[in-house]
Amino acid sequence: MPSLSKFKRWLKKRVLLSKGRGLLRLSEPVEIRMPVHLTARGLIRIGKGTSLGDKGAPRIGDGAITLQTRNTKAEICIGSGCAFSNNITIVATDSITIGDLCLIGDQVMIMDSDFHRLNPKERAQPAEPMAVRIGNNVWLGSRVMVLKGATIGDNSVVAAGAIVVSEVPPNTLVAGIPARIIRTLD
């Protein structure tokens, strides 16, 4: 097993873009198989045994994974043993938590804010964020979107192309726009 200092030097070569004064905390080992674009003004924490990118999965361009904490209070916390595919975007202005052993498909987007208000007269003002919580052993299929305030319970599956805007109970398969319960999983 390489030392932590060697791992950090190797990581610096793989991270394409790193802006901000936030914190990146990695539990060794974390496998980085695709470029990672970081904007860390807050905290980004990645658990032990998580892999970012998959060389065999579909890619657009370089297949980069984008992780952004847009202010000093924002947090992205990714659990241990997760597997991320390619072209994934996670943007937090408040808090996004992903549990342990999650599978995240290609082109998934997870955001805890609309970033702008809906009212045309207030559109230039920032929207209120709402935390996103994804439980343990969750599978997000390709092109899933998880939007502000969504909660996905343990052991659930979100079918490809679904948009999650509310609560998904544990042990549930959901699909569609917006995501609706298809069935309970044993």
Note whether 148 and 111 are within 8 A (CB). yes
Instruction: Read off the tokens for 182.
Output: 């298809």
Q: Please give the angle made by the CA atoms of 143, 178 and 128, to the nearest 5 degrees.
A: 90
Q: Please give the angle made by the CA atoms of 143, 75 and 78, to the nearest 5 degrees.
A: 55
37 annotated active-site:
no
Q: Please identify which of the residues 48, 116, 180, 183 carries the catalytic annotation.
A: 116
- Residue 152 has phi, psi (to 5 degrees) of -120, 120
Note whether 170 and 134 are within 8 A (CB). no
> 12 by DSSP, 3-state: which?
helix
**CA nearest to 67, candidates 87, 83, 82:** 87
Q: Which residues are catalytic?
A: 116
